[in-house]
């Protein structure tokens, strides 16, 4: 258990997620301070930031966190390749060779190295799913539409396939029709995978109607560290899924962030797509 009287340190990266987490913490009356990452944090969160650091200013970040002594550190929002603004103080990274090595290994590796460094310095790191569970999709139907028998088979196939692929560190999502896998998410992300599925899910030769019971299945990989890689969907995901000919979307209940929940559910209902939370294997 963490001390509820001590503030959390919300490390705000790019995108809308930090703002959503802040709003959730406000609703829960949970004290927190915001550490903005220069070149990444959006304007709304920069305005309420208690401090700003450069992405690679590890010593400066550790000094601030030591002063704050937070109950836990909560990373929220993306940090991809450092932008020019984020690289202004990159010389600080030379002091930590693990961080430098991680820059050549992809975004996930960089984030894991930073989290490990925080933990080595005595900070507990919590994920968004642990401090703002109200932002996650729940078990069962989220909108008005129910999956039919064809879609139910597709969901089962997608869950089995993604579970089998987990050890190989591929993506979190797939487009499935019955027992046929149309597309699997790779490093390009869900949106681009859905664009591929849109072209592939029509026959013959890209023409005709989508395969019956086509479903987007999005689940965390087995053993995935949700603190740095929490699956997420939003209204744009619903639009892309509809364009790809999907009958609906299945997500991992309690393990998937639903961005702008009301808008996402409304978009699914308007498009005639089901949106359902399914159990995630332990």
In the predicted structure, residue 193 carries a pLDDT above the cut 70 = yes
With cut-offs at 50, 70 and 90, classify the pLDDT of residue 23: very high
pLDDT given at position 205 = 45
Average of per-residue pLDDT values in the chain: 86
8 A C-beta contact, residue 198 and residue 243: yes
All structural domains of the chain, each given as residue ranges with its CATH number in brackets, are: 8-130 (3.40.50.20), 136-278 (3.40.140.80)
> In angstroms, rounded to a whole number, what is the distance separating the alpha carbons of residues 18 and 34?
9
Residues ≥6 apart with Cβ < 8 Å to 164: none
Q: If we measure between CA atoms, which residue out of 254, 227, 255 comes closest to residue 72?
A: 227
DSSP assignment string, 16-75: SHHHHHHHHHHHTT--EEEEEETTTS-HHHHHT-SEEE-TT-HHHHHHHHHHH--S-EEE
Query: What digits encode the pLDDT tens for the residues 114-164?
Result: 788 888 899 999 999 999 999 999 999 999 999 999 999 999 999 999 999
Highest mean pLDDT among 51-60, 116-125, 256-265: 256-265
pLDDT given at position 91 = 41
Query: b/e for 183-222, b at 16 or more Cβ within 10 A?
Result: bbbeeeebeebbebbbebbbeeeeeeebbebbbbbbbbbe
In the predicted structure, residue 96 carries a pLDDT above the cut 80 = no
8 A C-beta contact, residue 76 and residue 229: no
8 A C-beta contact, residue 37 and residue 13: yes
Backbone angles phi, psi at 215, to 5 degrees: -135, 140
Residue 261 burial class via C-beta count within 10 angstroms: exposed 0-12, middle 13-18, buried 19 and up: buried
């Amino acid at each position: 258990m963490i001390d509820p009287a001590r503030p959390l340190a919300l490390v705000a990266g790019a995108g809308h997620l930090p703002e959503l987490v802040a709003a959730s913490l406000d609703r829960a009356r949970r004290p927190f301070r915001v550490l903005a990452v220069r070149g990444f944090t959006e304007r709304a969160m920069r305005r309420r930031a208690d401090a700003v650091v450069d992405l690679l200013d590890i010593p400066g970040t550790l000094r601030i966190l030591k002063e704050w002594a937070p109950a836990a550190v909560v990373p929220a929002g993306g940090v991809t390749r450092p932008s020019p603004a984020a690289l202004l103080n990159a010389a600080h990274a030379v002091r930590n060779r693990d961080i430098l090595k991680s820059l050549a290994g992809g975004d996930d590796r960089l984030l894991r190295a930073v989290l490990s460094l925080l933990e080595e310095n005595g900070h507990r790191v919590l994920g968004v799913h642990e401090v703002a569970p109200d932002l996650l999709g729940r078990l069962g139907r989220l909108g008005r539409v129910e999956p039919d028998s064809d879609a139910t088979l597709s969901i089962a196939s997608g869950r089995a396939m993604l579970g089998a692929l987990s050890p190989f560190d591929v993506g979190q999502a797939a487009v499935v029709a019955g027992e046929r896998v149309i597309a699997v998410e790779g490093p390009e992300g869900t949106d681009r995978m859905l664009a591929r599925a849109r072209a592939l899910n029509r026959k013959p030769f890209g023409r005709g109607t989508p395969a019956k019971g086509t479903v987007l299945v999005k689940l965390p990989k087995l053993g995935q560290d949700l603190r740095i890689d929490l699956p997420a969907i939003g209204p744009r995901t619903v639009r892309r899924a509809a364009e790809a000919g999907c009958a609906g979307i299945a997500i991992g209940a309690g393990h998937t962030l639903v961005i702008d929940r009301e808008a996402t559910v409304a978009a699914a209902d308007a498009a005639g797509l089901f949106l359902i939370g399914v159990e995630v294997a332990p």
